[in-house]
Amino acid sequence: MSNVASPPASVLFVDDDEALLQAMTRLLRPDGIRVLTASSGERALDVLEREGADVGAVISDYMMPGMNGADVLRAVRLRWPAATRVLATGNADLVAAARAVNEGQVSWLITKPWEPDQFRRIVAEALEAYRVLLENRRLRELADQQAQRLEHWNQRLEELVAERTAELEQANASLQRGLLDTVRILLGFLERRIPERAVRCREIARLAGRLAERAGVPPDTVRRVQVAALVHDIGLMGLPDPILRQNPESLPPASRLQWEQHPVVGQTMLSSVEQLIEIATWIRHHHERWDGRGYPDRLSGPAIPLPSRVISLADAYLDAVDREGGTAKRWRSAQRAAGAHDPDLLEVLAAEVERQAEPQPAAQQPVLPVPIDQLQPGMRLAEPIRTPTGAQLVKAGEVLSEELIARLQSLASAGVVSGEPIPVIAQLVAGR
């Protein structure tokens, strides 16, 4: 075998026959193999103590004075387990040597005498086995290192994703706060110009939110529907006072046409804010009718955005409650044939109304007048609060909140509502 590749490791021969050791050294020299020799088991272990890190194979004779070959290879297995172990023996020692194979986990058992090419092949294969073992070990270590790095990068990636998610959530929260601040400013303008309509918009927003939620609208969209309902009449601010103070149904044609443009005006006002463009579209269509007889675009059926349909129904229902009282049963039953509202949303409204218990009329309960500056959260109104012109600001039965009390006190200071004491249910006053 003249083309044996040069292995990187050394081979150690152990034999008490010095002439044989020299012959083996000469035999392997042309193959570029570094050969170490030892004439006894004890000397072999000394060599390995010095050179063990570079020894890829140990080939030991079985029958030797002192330590025999099996003892040598057993020691090699314990101290230098990576080295390939080969036991050489004569035919007379074959049975005993075979028993020693498993004890030393010997890779090869060869018998003397051997042919030179056969011996060179065995040495080459032993060193190749050692090389493969080291390569497998290197690959396992590399795989472990890569797995650790991958785990580290996965962890880092998760941290980066979490950080980016937090940044996006923070940015979204900031955006939402900015959006709500814009809506509050618009609502503040509406409160100063048409306070009774601003109060009604808040009521519509609460009911529209419940209807949208019951209709299966996603939570994020429900909140946007409520925002739209809060400012859906913002376009009324562009109308002159004489038109605002009249019932739209009694307006002359020219004024009526001007009135019907307020959803378009509202859309124009809100569309200047990028985050309100979709809400502005809903506001444009909140006076459309299911049968196509609404305004401003005569849309019909599903062509009307669902949020617009919800706001329209909530607005109309609360107006009917003001006129009819209770849950406006007559109005609700008439809507099925009227064609103004989405029939499915009318079913949703019916379910919402049925869920709410009818409140006991405030007139049947003891009533106590409370000065407006002494109102407290949790008190319930016994009578509606109205403007001097008779427009209802807050309905009877409404439970006062800190925000509502602050608005009423502000309106009273501005002369929009009377400074007279507010009738509240005495039972709730006593229960505080």
pLDDT in tens, 239-293: 888 888 888 888 898 888 989 999 999 999 888 877 788 999 999 999 999 999 9
Q: Do 217 and 351 share a domain, yes or no? A: yes
Amino acid at 93: D
Going by DSSP bridges, is the β-strand pair 108-111/10-14 parallel, antiparallel, or unpaired?
Answer: unpaired
Domain endpoint, select from 335, 358, 381:
358
Lowest mean pLDDT segment, chosen from 42-46, 95-99, 106-110, 338-342? 95-99
Residue 209 and residue 220: Cα distance in Å, rounded? 11
Q: CATH no. for residue 432?
A: 3.90.105
Domain endpoint, select from 318, 334, 358:
358
Q: Do 240 and 308 share a domain, yes or no? A: yes
Residue 236 and residue 215: Cα distance in Å, rounded? 29
Going by DSSP bridges, is the β-strand pair 392-394/385-386 parallel, antiparallel, or unpaired?
Answer: antiparallel
Q: How many domains does the chain have?
A: 3
3-state SS assignment for residue 88: strand
Q: Do 345 and 200 share a domain, yes or no? A: yes
Q: CATH no. for residue 307?
A: 1.10.3210.10
Q: Is residue 415 part of a domain?
A: yes
Q: Do 327 and 400 share a domain, yes or no? A: no
Q: Is residue 49 part of a domain?
A: yes
> Which residues are CB-neighbours of 90 under 8 A, at least 6 positions away?
62, 63, 111, 112
Query: Are the C-beta atoms of 206 and 230 separated by less than 8 Å?
Result: no
Tally of CA atoms within 13 A in the half-sphere of 345 that contains its CB: 31
Q: Is residue 278 part of a domain?
A: yes
Q: Do 54 and 124 share a domain, yes or no? A: yes
Q: Do 104 and 206 share a domain, yes or no? A: no
pLDDT of residue 430: 43
The pLDDT mean for the chain works out to 83
Q: Do 201 and 333 share a domain, yes or no? A: yes
Q: Do 408 and 325 share a domain, yes or no? A: no
Q: Please give the residue range of the domain that contains residue 263.
A: 194-358
Q: CATH no. for residue 43?
A: 3.40.50.2300
Q: Do 385 and 347 share a domain, yes or no? A: no
Residue 54 and residue 8: Cα distance in Å, rounded? 9
Nearest residue to 352 via CA among 381, 327, 382, 315? 327
Q: Do 399 and 331 share a domain, yes or no? A: no
Q: Is residue 299 part of a domain?
A: yes
Average pLDDT value for residue range 45-51: 91
Q: Do 34 and 48 share a domain, yes or no? A: yes
pLDDT in tens, 369-420: 888 888 888 888 888 887 665 566 787 888 888 888 888 888 877 776 777 7
Q: Do 266 and 307 share a domain, yes or no? A: yes
pLDDT in tens, 101-160: 665 567 778 887 878 888 888 888 888 888 888 888 888 888 888 888 888 887 887 777
- Rounded to the nearest 10 degrees, the angle between the axes of helix 329-338 and helix 343-355 is 170
Using alpha carbons only, give the angle 220, 221, 226 rounded to the nearest 5 degrees. 105
